[in-house]
Amino acid sequence: MSHSVVWSKDIGESAQSATFSPDGTVLIFTTTTGRWIVIDATTRQLISMHSDGNEQIDSIKFSPDGRFLALGSRDNHIYIYQVSDEYRKYNRIGRCSGHSSFITNIDWTSDGTYIQSTSGDYEHLFWNATICRQLNNMSIARDLKWETYNAILGFNVFGIWPENADGSDINTCDRSHSHKLLATGDDFGKINLYSYPACQPKCLHHSYCGHSSHVTAVRFLPDDSRLISLGGKDSSVMQWALN
């Protein structure tokens, strides 16, 4: 609430994305060189360091139960790790291959069995995460319950796209934890708020201005009291109160 830094740590290279473990005790940073670094969120001590390819990792997410970790890389692959020892041990169990461009977003189902992913060429694919096999039966995909929804593609979010928009106009989206709201960030510096699901063409929404550059990420806090947005060239982090 004070808008001040709680702590900082120099990891020696440019960070690309980050995620907390489900219990908040462990923090993982990915870097622009394909490495990812596991640290204790309280003591800031380095736990381990890993590498998957030479390309940056843009998306990283734990399964809801914390048993698995998925990483989406610029090398077009999704790497799946089994997690143990209170988020301190990681064992790679597979690599999902099928996208023809870099991975942009990953979401897990609530039971931690399936993931959906989107890529830079606007592909939207589904996977059985534990065996890294692409899911081709769309009747199964239709009924899956998603723990998060950060994919900017799909039936539940196709109403966020304005008429004549190209695929790069909307950079990010996030569904609230109550499953009632959907927020997006676009190339025009705007935060847009929709009712979820946004599954009608050109859904009604509210737009809010604050960033002077494109919006790179939006996320709801766990209690949905605020929305956090990240700016691109304006290098800003903004808080939005939800009334």
* Domain definitions of the chain by residue range: 11-148, 149-243
pLDDT in tens, 143-195: 899 999 999 999 999 999 988 877 789 999 999 999 999 999 999 999 999 99
Rounded percentage of the chain residues whose pLDDT exceeds 90: 82
CB 222 within 8 A of CB 176: no
Q: CA–CA separation, 28 vs 43, rounded Å?
A: 14
- Please report the pLDDT score of residue 140 as a whole number: 86
Instruction: Tally Cβ neighbours within 10 Å of residue 54.
Output: 11
pLDDT for 96 beyond 90? yes
Q: CA–CA separation, 143 vs 160, rounded Å?
A: 21
**CATH number of this structure's domain 149-243, picked from the four choices 2.120.10.30, 3.90.1150.10, 3.40.50.300, 2.30.30.110:** 2.120.10.30
Helix (H) or strand (E) holding 181, with range, is strand 181-186
| CA quadruple 19, 20, 21, 27: dihedral, nearest 10 | 90
* pTM: predicted TM-score of the whole model, two decimal places: 0.92
CATH topology agreement for domains 11-148 and 149-243: no
Q: CA–CA separation, 63 vs 118, rounded Å?
A: 17
CB 52 within 8 A of CB 58: no
In this structure, whether the domain defined by 11-148 belongs to CATH 2.130.10.10 is answered with yes
Q: CA–CA separation, 208 vs 110, rounded Å?
A: 31
pLDDT in tens, 16-56: 999 999 999 999 999 988 899 999 999 999 999 999 888 99
pLDDT confidence tier of residue 206, bands split at 50, 70 and 90: very high
- Please tell me whether residue 30 adopts helix, strand or coil conformation: strand
User: Strand pairing of 124-128 and 114-119?
Assistant: antiparallel
Greatest CA separation for the chain = 49
Q: CA–CA separation, 31 vs 241, rounded Å?
A: 30
Backbone angles phi, psi at 202, to 5 degrees: 50, 60
pLDDT for 202 beyond 90? no
- Please report the pLDDT score of residue 13 as a whole number: 87
Cα separation values, 176 from 59, 109, 150, Å: 19, 15, 10
